[in-house]
Structure 1
Amino acid sequence: MHGDIRRVKRFVRHHRADNWCGQAGSPPACPHGEPDVVWFGEMLPEAVLDATRQAAADCSVLLSVGTSSRVCPAAAAPYLADHSGAAVVSVNPRPTPLDATASFNLHGKAGEVLPARLAAAWPASG
């Protein structure tokens, strides 16, 4: 929803490019572009918002991971999913406003909680 830090958005016509100034890998300073992300305070592209709303309305499970659930319009997606009948799973170290709506609240660090839940659901065969 907020872009991809590994992609570059060129200043000319804001089109995407595959790499930074002809170099693959981590983005160095580039005089011709910037990371293809939406920074705090910037508007999300309308097409991205439409796709997010559609995905939230159509999904059967929505994972809300590592967010305060307070910054709209992104914070609205879990509520739309819930309204459409999806299970909503919130993963966050602290309680959020979404906790009252979420089907499941997993409090903890995403890098610890999610691997533990995956391992419990699909244990390695040995």
Structure 2
Amino acid sequence: MSTFLLLVASNIFMTFAWYGHLKFGHDWPLWRVILVSWGIAFFEYCLAVPANRLGYGVFSGFQLKILQEVVTLSVFVGFAVLVLKEKFAWNYIAAFVCLGGAAFFAFAFKAPAP
């Protein structure tokens, strides 16, 4: 559970680092946007690295990566709808169903030992 919560928190920082400038700071020069994004990303790394370290062994490397991607996209949906004010269309829902299938197959069966 701590791995999941750390990944959620890290992805909140990552989403703002990568996409926050699309909503905020339009009048800033690109170099400033990059520096601010790096500063935000520092906190993302401070959470993502421990999440992966704690999770490895409980989950395989493949499972950690798939979990990371599902969390990333889930956090981004909230950001895109609430912050960027974008519409959540049917094709995005279909894409998430496919990702849900990928997560099912990654976690439903015992992974081979390394």
> TM range, normalised to the smaller chain?
under 0.3
The structure richer in helix per residue is: 2
The structure richer in strand per residue is: 1
